[in-house]
Structure 1
Amino acid sequence: MSQPQQTLPREAYLSAEWYAAEQQYLFGHSWQYLGPADEMPAAGHYRCVQLGSYPMLLLRDQDGTLRLLHNLCRHRGMPLLEGSGALPQHLRCPYHSWTYQQDGSLRALPQAERFPCLNKAEMGLKRGALDEWQGLMFGHTQPDAVPLAQWFAGLEDTLAPHDLSACEEQPVEVHTLKANWKVFVENYMDGYHLRHLHSVSLGKHYDHDAIAQGQLGPHWYFYQPLTAEGHKAALSSSSYPLIPGQDPKHLGAYVHLLFPNLGITASEESWSLLHIEPLDALTTRVTIRSWAMPVSTLRYLMLREPKSPGSADHPVKTGDLMGEDIAVCEAIQRSMHSPAYQVGALAEELEAPLAHFQQAILSYLKDMKANR
């Protein structure tokens, strides 16, 4: 087995030029998560979304048809709508009053005689692609994108067996990191740090010597079973009941990265989505939505496992897993500004997914640039 190596240059985590290229060619030309499918706009509603460099309009028209359109007037590129809300009967550009039907076709334009060569049938709003996978909605800026089922082919066989039908959503967490989005993703995929950085927050509940992981195309999947101690705790003293669908004899953590920037993490008692959004080259927003079985406040308070005593004087010693990860990501990002910064060899197997992720980015950028 060859030693995995860092392939992305330092500039990939620092420069505005890299960020712009990723926005245009990576996020702008890959399937992007839009939310749970059952939360898409109701009939007669819309929501503006940003897919990389592309402002898009997600709407459900009066007939109930869900559409993804480029939010750019075909005349001079003015956005038609902002934010979200009730969908107007017609989409009117505020600049020159070009008006579109809810399906994106051009309905009318003022002083049409000034455009003697214009073919209205060819001047509708540009369309994107929409599809659903495993109850999640994804959008793509290109109408002829590779089918979503093909993009995720094989991943369904690696997903956690959890049945979420009886679960309740927990409060949403939003974290803004002073770090490049790839720093967070690489930490998310790194199996080497689990027993070290998270020795307090994970304790002895997970078996770090029994990790199973792999890649399907650019995507990554991971499974880590509970130890005997963790298994006992999950069955007897967990704050939340086990989510149905799991084999009580084979409990553990199921973790996925749906390339490039959606994480799915399932434990014995929770199921979470991590939407990783780059805000600029040095800033990332991570939105975490989690589901768990209903539980009374009394049960939660009685069974909640107290945090192991950490050191509140340093963020990587607090016993809070997410806080530990954020602190490390931001520290690594600061280190990257040093001209002496360099990544050494990566750990076989445990850090191999990082090299695969980096190569997937390089290949994707190269292919998209070549085809545009």
Structure 2
Amino acid sequence: MDHPTQVSLSRTLLAMIEQRQTSMANDIFLNPVESYTSLDQQRREQQHVFGSRPLMIGLGGQLAYPGDFLTDDLSGVPVLVVRDNNGSLNAFINVCRHRGARLLNGSGNIAGAMICPYHGWAYGLDGQLQRLNPPGSFEGLSCTERNLTRLSVLEQHGLIWVHPTPGGQIDEAQTLGLLTHEVQCFGFQHYSHYQTRRLRRRFNWKVVVDTFLENWHFSTLHRQTVLPIFLPGISHFEGCGQHLRLIMPRRSIVELFDQPEEQWDLLRHSAIMYVLFPNTLLVWQGDHLEVWRVFAAGPRCVDQCLIEVSLHVPAAPTSAKEKTHWDKNMILLMDTVDGEDFQLAKYLQKGYASHAQQYLTFGRNEPALQHFHRAIRAAIDEGEN
């Protein structure tokens, strides 16, 4: 986020604080409870929301050197991304073209070829089959006929996007859309991956995104964790196409009242939530980045989700003091979100299944929630029409 944008948004937030206001939608919004409980809704989301667009899979810093790779199965498609010797990224379905074995697991670095652990077929970092094994057993078949199945991949301003469908195309202008310049200014391509946690929880995937889209609950649910840090009930929302930005000011933002505008640093005095539609959150937290990715746990798991949260820092820690600082941030993150939000969320899901009500009511004070769920409806409607 460049400094003129920080100044403009800071002015708005300071005015909100003085007037005790927040961003407001035009009307309340009724969201059908079945959007969290219906298997048909999940099928439509998988087809028209997830399967038809590129998904953010990580940050470039996780694949800093030739041979660095990561695998990802959260979308239901086994994805393999590797950086080749020219510095470019390649993405494939993580399936050997011989007997369908999984080629690589986890993340790491490979020197030379990617060798299937089942029968030893060998692939280059470009996905080209280099060796049929055992020799002499595949007469009439050439290596070029069994290259890895390629997926489209894009590295943009430090973010890695992969289209989960073979043949699917990535439009660089559309991935970040209206947020392109704003994300570019953060310089995430220079950030270092610190830690990742993966969770499986018993509630619909959209509940995870909902958790981050309002701060009215801080005063009740987060009294012992982040309430002392943030001003509850004040936030600035802006829809950015299908994406959105929500800024939650820290209590320290009042320091800006006594500073000249050229010294204003909104990034230090706020948490900034970017929802990259449909399922990724970039959460700027003053001096570091959290990346949240969430998916349904399976084709019939409407009430279960898979969650990945990663902490990315400006530079890899070089001292015990720096490591302790980032460890404390990770502990606070997990204590707040998993220890408080997600503990409550499992009861939300039970409430949705109880048939107590047909709709959830999103107030005018919850415009980000309204925007997110309208975007899901619109994506499904567009895919079906």
Same fold (TM over 0.5): yes
Is the CA contact (8 Å cut-off) linking 2:292 and 2:307 kept in structure 1? no
1:334 and 2:327 matched: no
Change (3 A) 1:163 1:40: closer
1:137-176 residue pairs with structure 2 within 5 A? 137-141=160-164, 142-158=166-182, 172=196, 174-176=198-200
Write the deviation string for residues 83-117 of structure 1: whole angstroms up to 9, x where unpaired. Answer: 445547555666777654442234565554466xx
Structure 2 gap ranges (5+) = 1-25, 329-334
Aligned to 1:52: 75
1:114-193 residue pairs with structure 2 within 5 A? 121=144, 123-141=146-164, 142-158=166-182, 172=196, 174-193=198-217
Write the deviation string for residues 203-254 of structure 1: whole angstroms up to 9, x where unpaired. Answer: 4654446422111122110123345x66459x9xxxxxxxxx9627983222
Is the CA contact (8 Å cut-off) linking 1:190 and 1:354 kept in structure 2? yes
Write the deviation string for residues 264-283 of structure 1: whole angstroms up to 9, x where unpaired. Answer: 22243543222334434313
**1:19, CA displacement in angstroms?**
4.6
Write the deviation string for residues 34-73 of structure 1: whole angstroms up to 9, x where unpaired. Answer: 3221221632343322262321221233454421012234
1:61-72 residue pairs with structure 2 within 5 A? 61-72=84-95
Is the CA contact (8 Å cut-off) linking 1:90 and 1:99 kept in structure 2? yes
Aligned to 2:305: 283
CA–CA separation in structure 1 for the residues paired with 2:190 and 2:92 = 34
Change (3 A) 1:333 1:284: farther
Is the CA contact (8 Å cut-off) linking 1:24 and 1:52 kept in structure 2? no
Change (3 A) 1:368 1:74: farther
SS at match of 2:372: helix
How many residues in Structure 1 have an aligned counterpart in Structure 2? Answer: 336
The alignment yields a C-alpha RMSD, in angstroms, of 4.2
CA–CA separation in structure 2 for the residues paired with 1:232 and 1:285 = 36
SS at match of 1:332: helix
CA–CA separation in structure 1 for the residues paired with 2:267 and 2:240 = 27
1:352 and 2:371 matched: no
Equivalent position amino acid for 1:342 in 2: Q
SS at match of 1:345: strand
CA–CA separation in structure 2 for the residues paired with 1:34 and 1:356 = 23
Is the CA contact (8 Å cut-off) linking 1:28 and 1:53 kept in structure 2? no
Change (3 A) 1:266 1:160: farther
Aligned to 1:103: 126
Considering Cα pairs closer than 8 Å and 6+ residues apart, tell me whether 1 or 2 has the greater RCO. 2
Aligned to 1:264: 282
Q: Return the match for 1:273 from 265, 269, 291.
A: 291
CA–CA separation in structure 2 for the residues paired with 1:342 and 1:83 = 42
Q: Return the match for 1:212 from 236, 239, 254.
A: 236
Write the deviation string for residues 277-321 of structure 1: whole angstroms up to 9, x where unpaired. Answer: 4434313324241537989859x99xx9xxxxxxxxxxxxxx946
Aligned to 1:81: 104
Change (3 A) 1:172 1:24: same
Equivalent position amino acid for 2:36 in 1: Y
Is the CA contact (8 Å cut-off) linking 1:26 and 1:365 kept in structure 2? yes
Greater fraction of residues in helix: 2
Equivalent position amino acid for 2:49 in 1: L
Q: Return the match for 1:254 from 272, 296, 320.
A: 272
Change (3 A) 1:297 1:339: same
Equivalent position amino acid for 1:283 in 2: C
Write the deviation string for residues 175-212 of structure 1: whole angstroms up to 9, x where unpaired. Answer: 54322211111121134434443355444654446422
CA–CA separation in structure 2 for the residues paired with 1:94 and 1:168 = 30
TM-score (norm 2): 0.69
CA–CA separation in structure 1 for the residues paired with 2:58 and 2:42 = 24
Equivalent position amino acid for 2:29 in 1: P
Aligned to 2:339: 323
CA–CA separation in structure 1 for the residues paired with 2:338 and 2:353 = 24
